[in-house]
Amino acid sequence: MEEISQQTIFLCENQIDTYEQLKEKQAEMDDLISQRKKLTNKMRRAAFDEKETLSQQKKGLSDQISVLRKDLKWSLGVEKRSLDMVDRIIILFKKLDRIAKKRVQMSSLFY
């Protein structure tokens, strides 16, 4: 139940209404990881005095990535529950369709 509460809070705070918006979080994190990797590569070639600045930038990106990873955990939970609900709704509609067809068949027998 706590997980569902956290997922709901995540959706509201980030104003997420669609599946595509959930996927944007993953793309945002991938972009930050790519930027951090580039900074790491720059640090290898940088002069000693420049490394501290790059290190601080990298730390900032790491902090953002950490927050996004937590958000992504909630978004993956939302995605999974949403897909489960869609499957259940499809099954329900199929059952309702079969019931409706049986009623039509039964009513045609009496008329």
Q: What is the mean pLDDT of each run of 10 residues along the chain (111 residues)?
A: 77 79 85 95 90 93 91 78 87 94 81 62
Report the pLDDT value the prediction gives residue 111, as an integer from 0 to 100: 62
Domain count along the chain: 1
Query: Model pTM?
Result: 0.60
Residue 33 lies in a domain: yes
Contact 77, 83 (CB under 8 A): no
Residue 103 lies in a domain: no
Residue 94 lies in a domain: no
Cβ-in-10-Å burial (0-12, 13-18, 19+) of 14 comes to middle
Range of the domain at 56: 2-83
Report the pLDDT value the prediction gives residue 57, as an integer from 0 to 100: 94
